Structure 1
Amino acid sequence: MSVQVLLLLPLSVLVLLLCAVCGSGMGFSVEEETLEEKCVNLDAPQNLYSDGFYQDGDVIIGALVNVHNMAATPDLSFTRKANLAPCLGFQEHSVRWTQAVVFAVEEINRNPSLLPGVRLGYNIMDSCSRYPHSLMAAMSMISRGNKTCGITRPAKVLIGDSSSTQSILLSRTLRPLQIAVISYLASCPCLSNRQIYPNFFRTIPSDAYQARTMAQMAKHFGWTWIGAVVADNDYGRGAVQVFEEEIKGTEICLAFFHTLYREQLAKDVARAATTVQASSARVILVFAWYVDVEVFLLELVRRNVTDRLFLASESWSTSTYLLANPQLYTIAKGIVGVALRSAAIPGFNAHLRQLHPARYPDDEFLRTFWEKTFGCSLTKSSSMAFQKALPPCSGRESLEGVQSRFTDTSYLTVAYNIYLAVYAVAHALHSLLACTPQNNSDPTIKPKCSSPDNITPAQLLQHIGQVRFTTQIGEKFYFQNGSIPPVYNLVNWQRTPDGSLQYVSIGRVNGNQLIINESAISWPGDLGKIPVSVCTSECPPGTRKAIKKGLPVCCFDCLPCTEGEISNSTGSIKCYRCPQEFWSNSFRNECVPRETEFLSVRETMGITLISIAVSGTIITATVAVIFLYHKSTPIVKANNSELSFLLLLSLKLCFLCSLVFVGQPSLWSCRFQQAAFGISFVLCISCILVKTIVVLVAFHSTRPGSSALIKWFGPGQQRGSVLVFTSVQVVICAIWLHVSPPSPRRNFGIHGSKVILECTVGSVVGFSCVLGYVGFLAAVCFLLAFFARKLPDNFNEAKFITFSMLIFCAVWIAFVPAYVSSPGKYSVAEVNGDNDMKPPPEI
């Protein structure tokens, strides 16, 4: 609440006390002169607000209407007694609001079914859109009940004010007196608190629904970066507070927030316009009175900032005053606003056109309007400036043929709210006074009401909260938590063929349901597209949002997804990992099947290994054929032809087992390739080992006492040794294949975009035993050959076997870590390479 309001609270309490002293007429036994002296100061026009007009009745309805929108600067020198500053800025449309009160009261008084025998009166005053004027006017209306002072009846209920802040002040001030306040335009959500404002009602929905509607529109059209320019009062600040609560937890952010205070409007408008001009926000939320909005929009036009979309609140979304301003045509096109629901008031148009100052001689607002409309001066006019400059009115002026905003009743919003407020009071009085209806079934009962002289404002307040009735156009009216259920129209400002502006209905809001006809909207600019208002453009597919530290969530960076992750939608907040069988494409926006890879016969490595294996097999077979052809020669016989042929066979098997490792792995190929690998190697090493033993036995048998060695290690023992050495490996392989055999698997962890088809070893212990046994035989063979390397004779193969086993062991030692660390098909290639590249022993 502003400082002015806080300063006025003690004054309001003082006025209430004085009114109670003068107005109650209770417990005073002083002379009439003394009473008159005490009352005359309170009731004098210079002390009580008297800018308005009055119609007597059994029950008086007070009404506050801001016929003027500003006041002259008050004298704050404090050198003399301060008086209320005169009101300035006459508003023609507000005169129609006052006539809505007059029309409703006269219509009710003519209705025999509603308040029969009771005549309503009204006391309508100008609030001047200022707190002091509003408060003093309210005090004047509720204190005019002292018969000793000779003043008119007091108001039992107050309709007004238009401003939320002024309504808060009135509600708090009148709460101790239990006087009901029914506003027709105060929409601050704070006024829905029944604990603080139990005497406040309104015929307009709370701004909570309006701000919620704007948040829904922002979500609907994808606006995430929105600015706000609002009035510096409860109306504007309350609306922004609700809007921020609605967008909390969403991707919508408030880019900036500026307030407009009417007493320093030029300064605030310049500051707000500078921010709008520099901001990237293309959608601006504006909650303010239309006169302040005009100054703000004109400043933007002056700066040539005409490419923004404004979300208009109900206070100016249907302002014919702004629509008629040609200077705003370039900036106002495309405005989207929330408007109060409109409704027709039967007979109101005829009432307005039949108005004449002679019919309402005390209505000074009508007189001022008449002078401005017809350019003449009425004799009793209080507008001295007009009276001096204009000719006198003839009295034959009429509104019958006048086409103006005043007589246009096609879109009634505020006037209809006032009309409903008067009817709500009438129905509450009808219930309070126990009025009998005219169509009562008992013909002996005449429609009547009990006497209204004894009713109190507290009783009327209670019945207003319970009022329910159906309007003439069939609407169900009732108060819900002091307000009416939310019903709004959505409007759009569009260009007409003649270049002017008009608002067009594009949807509606009924409760929480938002209905928008997008095809009917005319957007700002020449392209006619929905404006884009974002801090950062939405991240494209293949990227994710990364919030920038220290900035709102609407401002972010777009980071590309890592390999194996994708985001296939715009504005994704995270990347999603592809299923195991899939991998991300190069754009990171789609999961594609992984490429299957194995040691294929069609690729270079597979072809090379097969060629080497076949070549080795052919060479070995050629040597075997040569040996077979010369098997009867001494040299072949001397080299132990049986072991030589067995060695050549094992070498061919070593070369041929490489072919099992090439191609797509299967269950049986995985099992066979490991067994073939281990057994063929052991067979080869066993033959070499036995040949080495034969060499040692043969040369050691020539020594004295060693002749029996050659007998105990003849051809049969040699074949048996090879068989035993090989059988051990066969047993190891059989146990391995039985307990935990190798099996094919799809390896997803080596190359991200590829699936490696390979064989698992199954049991690591079994695989280690197979390799270990081969290594053990090779080491024993190496040691024995090393001991026999210097034996004489040309037939000594030990030195060649020593060299071969040395190379084999070196390769074997290097093979094991390389095999373990090689990925996928490269480990298969290493096995084949070890098979194929091993230098064959001399034979």
Structure 2
Amino acid sequence: MPKNYQHILSLVFAIKEINEDPKILSNISLGFHILNSYYTARMTYKATLSLLSTQHQFVPYFKCHHQNNLIALTGGCISEISANIATISAIHKTPQLTYGSFFPVEDVKSLLPFLYQMVPNEAKQHKGVVQLLQYFRWTWIGVLAVDDDKGDRFLQTIVPTLSQNGICYAFIVRLPKWNYLDEIIHMILHKWEYFETLFERKANVYFVYGEPPSFQALRILLFLAPFFSVSPLGKVWIVTSHWDFASLPVQKIWDMQAFHGSISFTVHSNQPLGFQKFIQMINPSWSKGDGFIQDFWEQAFSCSLKMSEDEEEGEENNKLCTGEEKLEHIPGILFEMKMTGHSYNVYNAIYAVAHALHAIYKSSCKHRIVHHFLRHIVFNNSVGDTIYFDENGELAAGFDVTNWLIFSNGSLVRVKVGRLDPHAPRGKELTIKEGLIMWHKSFNQVLPVSVCNDNCYPGFSRKKKEGERFCCYDCAPCPEGMVSHQKDLDRCGSCPEDQYPNKEQTECIPKDVSFLSYKEELGIILVILAISFSLITTLVLGTFVKYKDTPIVKANNRTLTYILLISLLLCFLCPFLFIGQPRKVTCLLRPTAFGIVFSLALSSVLAKTITVVLAFMATKPGTRMKKWAGKRLSNYVVPSCSFIQASICTIWLSTSPPFPDIDMHSVSGEIILECNDGSGTMFYSSLGFLGFLAIVSFIVAFLARKLPDSFNEAKFITFSMLVFCSVWLSFVPTYLNTKGKYMVAVEIFSILSSGAGLLGCIFSPKCFIIVLRPELNNREQLTRRKR
């Protein structure tokens, strides 16, 4: 292939530099001999044996001419050729420096100790490819591998590696080897449907594993694709350092646009000073010893250097080469003016041998072979790169990430867009300059996407599709209360306790601190109500004190009336303990103040109800109830009931007292500051005792509702207890079903409404008579009986 001729030129250029350099191997000239392998094992063995034999005599293992002293072998370009050479050169203990790839063999150094590889282990490139795929988030790719033992081993290694790194292959295609044309023809004729599917897949990135001969097989398939109405364009081809975008002369008119924008990992290379000037001097007459120049020149320029008379008559269109053609006019797919990676490897291999020879001549052990010095050789080449081999005999170097720009006129440009340094710290091996990359024109310079399906954006998580690879998934919305802030997360996460998900469930935002405040509308309304009822109660109490000597005030125990009004006043002031940020003191006072004050009020109502009944029964002749009428009964009922409630509160505070608490989970988006009841049993015991007093008062008042009008305060107590019980019966389910500050508001509203029920139902009729109908406030009216 014309492009491989640069490998020869780099060898010649390196030896020319060494022979002209007085600082290395002075007074010693290096020579060389080059043979073609033709990419076949038979020709490779023949060429190697001829190098190891007597000049002009094919006698293996025997040499008699000192001038044909073989020091080292350089080759080959592909792994199969290198392996074939190695089997023979190892027997002769002759160092072999491969400038292309080499078949990956475990413990290769112990099997082939005389082998030196100018390309680092290909496993390092595979890791770089995986990192590249992860960098661009390409998770659904096509894999193409040469159909041989090396391709088998590659697939056995790369498939698990891709899976472990979250990458799936959409398909695997085996490429036939170039020297098996029958396989290529069979694939085209009988398996074209498979390749048609290949180019219609949604995978936009193809990872190709092979060597230059495999590339020719792929080119044939791509060239024939349009004839089957299949377009192979719009793909990103990722290749390793073994690959080269080169054309055979017959292919130079074939379009190479399908490979525009490809990315490859190439061994780090530089441009030796003077190399371009050297190759510009080349012409067919430059060296009589060059057995390749004629074939190269004729293939590259499509002309003939010598033409017989028969050829002149039969080939009118076959032009004659002038010998003055310029190499820079050749398309890059046929020949490149800049030194390629493989040629740079040849250049460094020759210098490595020269420095090893130089070390031998400088040492006192001139009988030792080159191999012993190659292992430890370290030198800087002409462009400043440090060259040395590691313990495995591999060149200690990194890789350039190269973007291939291939234009319609056949010109080719390599752009270095990154670097793969296997010796860099973990996670920093690969660096990419994304802005320098030119993608295929079908992508319109937008980063290509190669995934099985669209990404799951924040707010969603991936849900596996049954029967498909893990890279193919559905997108499910995050459950309530959970978030996903990145694309393609496997599961949604929870927010910290002091944060909650936003509406889109894409991020966590800080929760608002919530408690019933004096500054908000609900708190202000409840405060106004509490103050209003307190003022009304105070006004009623003042009215009863002012008219304390009137019959309607003195009736039914004036002391109980005062106790009831004072307890109601205290009830209306209780809400001030519930409004505002919960503190330790307010949390302790809330249940005790509420329970004791309401117990005092209800016990006063109960005492008044019983007093009404006893007062009526005491008027009957011969009854023994007269001694219980008056203040005697109230002296027992009110203190005893209040004592029981106080005892419950004391036990509550001494065993499990209420305390300020923070609730982060009940209400989404809020941190609730509340008073924890401490003991739910004691809370409902206190509330239950109040319910017991209310029910007893209601029953007694209900039974006394038909007493004569003058004594029928029980009718109003019945209504008040009915309101009271209704309020607190509805309070329990409402309280349990509300959260946060609204729970506190329900509690305050129940306190105010039940107290207002007692105040309104019991005292509004009396206030009406005292203030508006004073003529009814006399003894005659009170003692009048119902007929």
> Which TM class, normalised by the smaller chain length?
0.7 to 0.9
Partner in structure 1 of residue 202 of structure 2: 280
3-state secondary structure, aligned to 1:182: strand
Give structure 2 stretches of 5+ with no counterpart.
Answer: 423-428, 764-787
2:683 equivalent to 1:767: yes
Percent identity (aligned) = 30
Partner in structure 2 of residue 509 of structure 1: 419
CA displacement at 1:283 relative to structure 2: 2.0
- Structure 1 residues 807 and 94, CA gap change in structure 2 (3 angstroms): closer
3-state secondary structure, aligned to 1:558: strand
CA displacement at 1:147 relative to structure 2: 7.8
- Structure 1 residues 122 and 644, CA gap change in structure 2 (3 angstroms): closer
2:458/2:505 contact within 8 Å kept: yes
1:485/1:511 contact within 8 Å kept: no
Partner in structure 1 of residue 782 of structure 2: none
2:209/2:239 contact within 8 Å kept: yes
2:245 equivalent to 1:334: no
Partner in structure 1 of residue 343 of structure 2: 415
3-state secondary structure, aligned to 2:34: strand
CA displacement at 1:679 relative to structure 2: 2.6
CA displacement at 1:530 relative to structure 2: 2.3
2:462/2:474 contact within 8 Å kept: yes
2:595/2:686 contact within 8 Å kept: yes
CA displacement at 1:525 relative to structure 2: 1.7
After the TM superposition, which residues 649-664 of structure 1 pair with which residues of structure 2 at under 5 Å, given as runs?
649-655=566-572, 657=574, 661=578
| TM-score (normalised: structure 1) | 0.71
1:815/1:834 contact within 8 Å kept: no
Distance 1:282 1:395 in 2: 45
Question: Which of residues 432, 435, 439 in structure 1 aligns to 2:361?
Answer: 435
Distance 2:239 2:434 in 1: 17
- Structure 1 residues 580 and 385, CA gap change in structure 2 (3 angstroms): farther
Distance 2:298 2:549 in 1: 146
Distance 2:311 2:127 in 1: 46
2:136 equivalent to 1:221: yes
2:609/2:700 contact within 8 Å kept: yes
Paired letter, 1:168? A
Partner in structure 2 of residue 94 of structure 1: 4
1:487/1:508 contact within 8 Å kept: no
CA displacement at 1:408 relative to structure 2: 6.2
Question: Which of residues 102, 114, 128 in structure 1 aligns to 2:38?
Answer: 128
CA displacement at 1:129 relative to structure 2: 0.9
Query: Which stretch has the larger CA shift, 586-595 or 803-812?
Result: 803-812
Question: Which of residues 220, 227, 238 in structure 2 aligns to 1:295?
Answer: 220
- Residue-by-residue CA offset, 1:474-522 (whole Å, 9 max, x unaligned): 54433222221224444333477x9653214234536335454433332
Partner in structure 2 of residue 343 of structure 1: 271
After the TM superposition, which residues 98-247 of structure 1 pair with which residues of structure 2 at under 5 Å, given as runs?
98=8, 100-101=10-11, 122-144=32-54, 157-172=72-87, 174-190=89-105, 193-233=108-148, 247=162
Distance 1:607 1:695 in 2: 40
CA displacement at 1:164 relative to structure 2: 0.8
1:223/1:252 contact within 8 Å kept: yes
3-state secondary structure, aligned to 1:343: coil
Partner in structure 1 of residue 775 of structure 2: none
Partner in structure 1 of residue 292 of structure 2: 365
Distance 1:317 1:586 in 2: 53
CA displacement at 1:812 relative to structure 2: 5.2
Paired letter, 1:304? S
- Structure 1 residues 485 and 732, CA gap change in structure 2 (3 angstroms): same
Partner in structure 1 of residue 393 of structure 2: 482
2:304/2:320 contact within 8 Å kept: no
Distance 2:441 2:204 in 1: 12
Distance 2:451 2:418 in 1: 26
CA displacement at 1:394 relative to structure 2: 15
Distance 1:492 1:822 in 2: 64
3-state secondary structure, aligned to 1:688: helix
- Residue-by-residue CA offset, 1:235-263 (whole Å, 9 max, x unaligned): 65566666557655434433333221132
Paired letter, 2:486? S
Paired letter, 2:600? L
- Residue-by-residue CA offset, 1:683-738 (whole Å, 9 max, x unaligned): 2222233234434554555678766x645764366356534543554565466557
- Structure 1 residues 771 and 563, CA gap change in structure 2 (3 angstroms): same
2:530/2:572 contact within 8 Å kept: yes
Distance 2:541 2:459 in 1: 63
1:371/1:378 contact within 8 Å kept: no
2:604/2:638 contact within 8 Å kept: yes
After the TM superposition, which residues 62-73 of structure 1 pair with which residues of structure 2 at under 5 Å, given as runs?
none
2:454 equivalent to 1:533: no
Partner in structure 2 of residue 518 of structure 1: 434
Give structure 1 stretches of 5+ with no counterpart.
Answer: 1-90, 438-447
1:478/1:484 contact within 8 Å kept: yes
Distance 2:754 2:125 in 1: 84
Partner in structure 2 of residue 493 of structure 1: 404
Q: Report how many residues are paired.
A: 728
RMSD of aligned Cα (Å): 4.8
- Residue-by-residue CA offset, 1:552-577 (whole Å, 9 max, x unaligned): 44333333333333333344444343
- Structure 1 residues 195 and 549, CA gap change in structure 2 (3 angstroms): farther
Distance 1:692 1:371 in 2: 128
Distance 1:701 1:196 in 2: 124
- Structure 1 residues 623 and 342, CA gap change in structure 2 (3 angstroms): closer
- Structure 1 residues 782 and 344, CA gap change in structure 2 (3 angstroms): closer
Paired letter, 1:525? K
Partner in structure 1 of residue 668 of structure 2: 752
3-state secondary structure, aligned to 2:216: helix
- Residue-by-residue CA offset, 1:523-573 (whole Å, 9 max, x unaligned): 222632222222233332223334445544433333333333333334444
Distance 2:739 2:88 in 1: 85
CA displacement at 1:589 relative to structure 2: 2.2
1:354/1:399 contact within 8 Å kept: no
3-state secondary structure, aligned to 2:109: coil
